[in-house]
Structure 1
Amino acid sequence: MNVQPLGDRVLLKTEAGEEKTSGGLFIPQTAQEKTQTAVVTAIGDDTDVITVKVGDRVMYDKYAGTQVKIDGDDHLIVSFSDIIAIIK
């Protein structure tokens, strides 16, 4: 499925949380804290406002966006203003 966000919206592919602690203990899926990092997979057509590009790793607000499942993977559609940092 091909999804193209509109306006100043950005499509993010969320990253999975850590499954193991630094001590080697496994964390069950239900106890994992949701990460706020993702990879940009598509951007809207308002390129004057959007300063990230496809492939950038970003941090976003904890309660931002709309969750969607595309081809079995979790994605998030957020407004550009909900992106708080680019991870380099």
Structure 2
Amino acid sequence: MKIPMPDLDDEFDEFGDRIVRPIIDREEVSADGRRTQYLKNMGEYSAYTKQVSRNRDARMLENGEIDELGLRKKNDAFFGYDFSKVRIVAIGDKKYEDID
């Protein structure tokens, strides 16, 4: 997946925070054609994109566009999953019965 690049004219996002743009350090293509981009500023870029997502969620809550249950559904990959039916069969390459 190619990292999306914001418009170069934009310096601040909709919340007034300075946009952190990804700085691509290098790019590798695997034998099966998958492209991987490595960033120089991965930590800073990741923190920025997470904060923008949190800010948008907060704005949606404040405006009544979504309620808390809807927000949980939106952000939780396991929302509504019944873990009482889950069974651990292995950890790593070891079967559960073989672990001390």
In proportion to residue count, which structure has more helix?
2
Higher Cα Rg, which structure: 2
Q: Larger relative contact order (C-alpha < 8 A, sep ≥ 6)?
A: 1
Query: What TM-score range do you get, normalising by the shorter chain?
Result: under 0.3
TM-score, normalised with respect to structure 2: 0.23
In proportion to residue count, which structure has more strand?
1
